[in-house]
Amino acid sequence: MPFIPHTEEDVEEMLASIGAASIEELFDEIPPDLKTGNLSRVPPGMTEMEITRLMHERAQADGFYLNFIGAGAYEHHIPAAVWQITTRGEFYSSYTPYQAEASQGTLQLLYEYQTMMASLTGMDVSNASLYDGATALAEAALMAVRQHKTSRRILVPGTAHPTYRKVLRAIVRNQDIEVVEIPFDPESGQVIPEQLDPFGQEEFAALVVPQPNFFGVLEQVDTLTDWAHKKNSLVIAVVNPMSLAMLTPPGEWGTKGADIAVGEGQPLGIPLSSGGPYFGFMACKQELVRQMPGRIIGKTVDLDNKPGFVLTLQAREQHIRRSKATSNICTNQGLMVTAATIYMSLLGPEGLRRVAAQSHANLLQLVEKLETIPGVKRAHSGFCFHEAALKLPGPIDEILQALKAQGILGGLSLQDYYPALSNTLLVCTTETKTPVDLDKFGEVLGKILKKYK
């Protein structure tokens, strides 16, 4: 009976108080014919010692690799303090802060988080997080439609993360929202603002602008933002928060700034961990705040006028508004945001900038190095942040296999996502890659590619 403290004596006394003869009797309101709960396919319990050994063995089997895959999930150094504090029981095992007086730890931290994210994105306000970057985009689209009122059309460029686009479609399709894909320039790997006009003929609720885009390429965000605003549409920025330490924040794009900024918070102190849990962030202009889904923390005072923090704007939420809520979302990714807030505090503005700058510099270094290998060249001409697509002179799956055999995960094959991009590798570098790592990648790849000359 792991985790159950009851002694036989306890059970007897408790049943006596209830007036029941057995625990089974407490289930007497369940129709007997339904009691079929035989868990024949659940294995017997293990001790902690046994499961510890099993999990260690499985972890060992998975091993470690020198990783150059990015594509929406990025390997950054995470200070040891981040998770040692985040997994303290008081953060780890508490619930949503419904009783504000007993949850000031989480509430103040979330308020600090909102402050950081609002500044990082250049927006007025931030919520306390959503599930992940992809669902945050979908929520932003729903929000834009609610705000725009007359159009249910969302323009999304083909340079946006392919999975994000799939998630967006899956979520909004039941609400009669149309997702229109905008083409991109295969040469530069960017959306060309001049080619947008056909899509703006008809009214649309919002234009999605990814920065950097899925190819790692930087979009012409100012022009795109102003174009959409001229059409009385909203602009939804999808951004890598780490890049914002270097790049113009969405709130400053074009003349008026993007209206909503969303993205994947993972680069801010969250381990790769096979894809989750991460967290989506969402920030917006002040006038949109009541359309924003998810938890929002506000500062207030107590009876003695001392400052404190509470969940606020709950009138938007499903437990009050039920079928009229802005979203069905109730949890955020609280623990991940705890980690991200501690991460940002430890890095500070200059630290975050250096991490971003080094990630970027490493990409330039790597691309330069790899382009010296015959047959390797950049797939796109646009400026990049810390990720770039490279054309390879041979079958990419075979090349990736060969790299893996030497302990290197060389990047992502783009073919599965963009059939036109055959033998194209999306490589990513973060600050974790040393000059030795970059050299090793170059050398190993060079040797592998010799056979395709």
Partner 1 sequence: MLIFEHSRPGRRNYSQSPTTPAEKQAIPQNLLRKSPVLLPEVSEMDAVRHYTRLSQKNFSIDTEFYPLGSCTMKYNPRACNALAMLPQFLARHPLAPEDTGQGFLACMYELQEILKDVTGMAGVSLTPMAGAQGELIGVMMIRAYHEARGDKKRTEIIVPDAAHGTNPATAVMCGYKVVEITTDKEGNVDMDALKAAVGPQTAGLMLTNPSTLGVFEKNISEMSRIVHEAGGLLYYDGANLNAVLGKVKPGDMGFDVIHINLHKTFSTPHGGGGPGAAPVGVAERLLPYLPIPMVAHEKGVYRWLTEEDVPQTIGRLSAHMGNAGVLLRAYIYVRLLGAEGMNRISQYATLNANYLMAELRKAGFEIAYPTRRASHEFIVTLKEIKERTGVTAMNLAKRLLDKGYHAPTTYFPILIPECLLIEPAETESKQTLDAFVTAMKEILQEIEDQPDMVKSAPHNMPLRKLDDVRAARELDLAWKPQ
The answer to the question of residue 174 lying near a second copy (CB under 8 A) is: no
Q: Residues near 110 by Cβ (< 8 Å), separated by ≥ 6? A: 97, 128, 295, 297, 309, 334, 337, 341
- Partner in contact with 432, chosen from partner 1, a second copy, none, beta carbon below 5 to 8 Å by kind: a second copy
218 sits in which H/E element: none
Q: Which residue has the tokens 């079928």?
A: 323
Cβ atoms of 266 and 73 closer than 8 Å: yes
Residues within window 389-408 making contact with partner 1, judged by CB under 8 A? 400, 404
Cβ atoms of 159 and 210 closer than 8 Å: yes
- Partner in contact with 17, chosen from partner 1, a second copy, none, beta carbon below 5 to 8 Å by kind: partner 1
Tell me the closest approach of the beta carbon of residue 234 to partner 1, in angstroms: 20
Question: Among 11, 22, 26, 84, which residue interacts with a second copy (rule: CB under 8 A)?
Answer: 84
Nearest to 347 by CA among 101, 125, 77: 77
The answer to the question of residue 60 lying near partner 1 (CB under 8 A) is: yes
Tell me the closest approach of the beta carbon of residue 85 to a second copy, in angstroms: 8
Interface with partner 1: number of residues (CB under 8 A)? 211
The answer to the question of residue 324 lying near partner 1 (CB under 8 A) is: yes
User: Given the rule CB under 8 A, which of 127-135, 148-156, 196-204, 442-450 is the region that contacts partner 1?
Assistant: 127-135
The answer to the question of residue 417 lying near partner 1 (CB under 8 A) is: no
Residue 185 pairs with which residues in a beta bridge?
A: 190
Q: How far apart are CA 408 and CA 377, in angstroms?
A: 20
Nearest to 346 by CA among 75, 83, 124: 83
Question: Among 185, 289, 415, 437, which residue interacts with partner 1 (rule: CB under 8 A)?
Answer: 289
The answer to the question of residue 414 lying near partner 1 (CB under 8 A) is: no
**Binding flags for partner 1, 178-217, as an x/- string (CB under 8 A):** ----------------------------------------
Tell me the closest approach of the beta carbon of residue 296 to partner 1, in angstroms: 6
User: Given the rule CB under 8 A, which of 75-83, 126-134, 148-156, 309-317 is the region that contacts a second copy?
Assistant: 75-83
Q: How far apart are CA 421 and CA 413, in angstroms?
A: 9
Q: End-to-end CA distance of the chain, in Å?
A: 64
447: its two tokens: 């040797």
Q: Which is nearer to partner 1, 98 or 451 (CB)?
A: 98
Q: How far apart are CA 357 and CA 352, in angstroms?
A: 9
Q: Which is nearer to partner 1, 149 or 322 (CB)?
A: 322
Of how many residues is the chain composed?
453
Q: How far apart are CA 373 and CA 444, in angstroms?
A: 11
**Binding flags for a second copy, 418-437, as an x/- string (CB under 8 A):** -------------xx-----
- Partner in contact with 200, chosen from partner 1, a second copy, none, beta carbon below 5 to 8 Å by kind: none
Residues within window 45-64 making contact with a second copy, judged by CB under 8 A? 47-49, 52, 56, 60, 64
Instruction: Report the Cα 298 to chain-centroid distance in Å.
Output: 24
Tell me the closest approach of the beta carbon of residue 291 to partner 1, in angstroms: 14
Cβ atoms of 360 and 70 closer than 8 Å: no
Question: Among 61, 80, 301, 420, which residue interacts with a second copy (rule: CB under 8 A)?
Answer: 80
- Partner in contact with 260, chosen from partner 1, a second copy, none, beta carbon below 5 to 8 Å by kind: none
Residues within window 333-362 making contact with partner 1, judged by CB under 8 A? 333-336, 338, 341-342, 344-355, 357-358, 360-362
Nearest to 406 by CA among 435, 376, 446, 368: 446
165: its two tokens: 């686009």
Cβ atoms of 267 and 74 closer than 8 Å: yes
Which residues form the interface with a second copy (CB under 8 A)?
47-49, 52, 56, 60, 64, 77, 79-80, 84, 87-88, 431-432
